[in-house]
């Protein structure tokens, strides 16, 4: 049926557990709320998309399926469903509303325009690529409505921009001139560095997730206090206060460890200054990742986008 959503994104065969089944009445009600009919998405197809979203969420037994589904970005889900199914009007709407989102995001992530090509490649995948003899597959298949479509697009784009940057960094060649390489630190400085980094690792491991997140965003990612507050749902002043407290904790941990190692106050000053000036080539391991994910469950991981 022309324009009818029939892509795998909408109604392909997927193993859905009984607790994630959506009855027709609920599907119809949400279909109306999503205004899915304007994209000619059938109730059955939209219901299948809702079921996949419920399955992705890992909704535990006893939870309200209806409450979960009602919390989804239903209109975005309907649009994604229609676009994945090749509905022309839906795609035109998507281009009009979300292509600017994609390009603004790319320009924000790389002000020199370095991410535009990533956005272009992503745009093509959103439309869908088709291998010979196979149906067109759109990246929008992996949108499940838990976030807004705009947020999801930014996540996908950011992931690709970051991964490309990390790949380039790994592949950057070493300087040919050996004198450009940093000189090995003296033995005493190496011991100092080892102590400081070990103490730093321990101190960071004792922080809770939110503290490590704020420190990572602020120091490693150079995010502003306002941006961190926005991401965590905290006031800017709260972020500032928490960062100060966490930094104090880290410092106290390092000082305690160095004091226990027999260093005097002035030696601690020198040791920390040396470590800060040149971390050296120590194996930092996973300083922040030393804590295992409690009940790490890969069930909420989908095919990497």
Give residues 77-96 in contact with another protein (rule: CB under 8 A): 79, 93
Q: What is the rounded (10 degree) CA torsion for 197, 203, 209, 211?
A: -100
**Bridge partners, residue 137, by sequence:** 129
Q: Does 150 bind another protein (CB under 8 A)?
A: yes
Q: What is the 3-state secondary structure (H, E, C) of 61-107?
A: CCCCHHHHHHCCCHHHHHHHHHHHCCCHHHHHHHHHHHHHHHHHHHH
CA distances to 6, 35, 63, 75 from 69, in Å: 21, 15, 11, 12
CB nearer to another protein: give 7 or 105: 105
CB contact at 8 A, 31 and 47? yes
Check residue 147 for interaction with another protein (CB under 8 A): yes
> 88-109 vs 74-84: helix axis angle to the nearest 10?
110
The verdict on 286 binding another protein (CB under 8 A) reads yes
**List 16, 213, 261, 267, residue binding another protein (CB under 8 A):** 213
> Which residue's CB is nearer to another protein, number 184 or number 237?
237
Residue nearer to another protein on the CB measure, 28 or 287: 287
Tell the smallest beta-carbon distance from residue 219 to another protein (Å): 4
164 is a site residue for another protein (CB under 8 A): no
Q: 75 or 133, CB closer to another protein?
A: 75
Residue among 203, 200, 230 nearest 214 (CA): 230
Interaction mask 21-60, another protein, x per CB under 8 A: ---------x--xxx--------------------xxx-x
Query: Is residue 163 a contact residue for another protein (CB under 8 A)?
Result: yes
**Least Å distance between CB 227 and another protein?**
5
Least gap, CB of 291 to another protein (angstroms): 6
* Cβ distance to another protein smaller for residue 186 or 285: 285
Reduced to 3 states (helix: H, G, I; strand: E, B; else coil), residue 137 is strand
Residue 25, token pair as written in the block:
């009445």
Q: Interaction with another protein in 224-263: which residues (CB under 8 A)?
A: 224-227, 229-237, 239-241, 243-244, 247-248, 250-251, 254-255
Residue 210 lies near another protein (rule: CB under 8 A) = yes
Q: Tell me the CA distances in angstroms from 30 to 7, 141, 169, 224, 295, one per residue in order.
A: 20, 19, 46, 39, 33
Applying CB under 8 A, the site for another protein has a residue count of 117
């Amino acid at each position: 049926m022309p324009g009818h959503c029939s892509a795998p994104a909408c109604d392909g065969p997927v193993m859905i557990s009984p607790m994630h089944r959506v009855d027709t009445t609920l599907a119809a009600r949400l279909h109306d709320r999503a205004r899915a009919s304007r994209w000619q998405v059938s109730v059955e197809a939209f219901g299948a998309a809702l079921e996949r979203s419920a399955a992705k969420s890992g909704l535990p037994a006893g939870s309200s399926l209806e409450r979960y589904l009602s919390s989804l970005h239903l209109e975005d889900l309907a649009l994604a469903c229609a676009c994945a199914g090749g509905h022309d009007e839906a795609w035109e709407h998507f281009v009009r509303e979300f292509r600017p989102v994609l390009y603004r995001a790319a320009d924000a992530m790389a002000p020199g325009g370095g991410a535009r090509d990533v956005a272009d490649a992503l745009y093509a995948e959103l439309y869908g690529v088709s291998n010979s003899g196979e149906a067109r597959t759109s990246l929008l298949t992996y949108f499940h409505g838990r976030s807004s479509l705009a947020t999801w697009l930014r996540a996908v784009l950011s992931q690709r921009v970051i991964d490309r940057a990390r790949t380039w960094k790994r592949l950057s060649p070493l300087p040919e001139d050996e004198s450009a390489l940093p000189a090995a630190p003296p033995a005493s400085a190496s011991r100092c560095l080892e102590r400081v980094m070990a103490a730093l690792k321990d101190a960071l491991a004792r922080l809770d997730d939110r503290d490590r997140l704020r420190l990572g965003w602020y120091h490693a990612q150079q995010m502003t206090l306002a941006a961190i507050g926005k991401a965590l749902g905290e006031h800017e002043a709260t972020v500032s206060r928490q960062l100060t407290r966490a930094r104090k904790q880290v410092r106290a941990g390092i000082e305690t460890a160095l004091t226990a190692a027999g260093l005097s106050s002035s030696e601690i000053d020198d040791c920390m200054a040396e470590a800060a000036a040149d971390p050296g080539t120590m194996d930092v391991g996973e300083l922040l990742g030393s804590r295992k994910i409690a009940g790490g469950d890969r069930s909420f991981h989908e095919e990497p986008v």
